[in-house]
Amino acid sequence: MKTTSWIRKNWLLVAGVSFIGVHLGTYVIQWAAKQSVKSQSGDKQKSIKE
């Protein structure tokens, strides 16, 4: 009898974890981009006041 691989046995778990990982990664990238824009706009306002 041929043994099945771990991924074939747990393909749904692998797909779910991958799906969640991609979405969490996207969320973190968007959060970092927003923080960068906020800090850059704050720097511009400071330089305008000076």
Phi, psi torsion values for 10, nearest 5 degrees: -120, 40
The owner of tokens 């979405």 is 23
Domain boundaries, the chain: 22-50
pLDDT of residue 40: 80
pLDDT of residue 50: 53
pLDDT of residue 45: 62
* Three-state DSSP class for residue 35: helix
pLDDT of residue 47: 59
pLDDT of residue 7: 87
Per-residue model confidence as pLDDT tens for the chain (50 residues):
678 898 899 999 999 999 999 999 999 999 999 999 888 877 666 655 55
pLDDT of residue 2: 76
For the chain, counts of helices (H) and of strands (E) = 2, 0
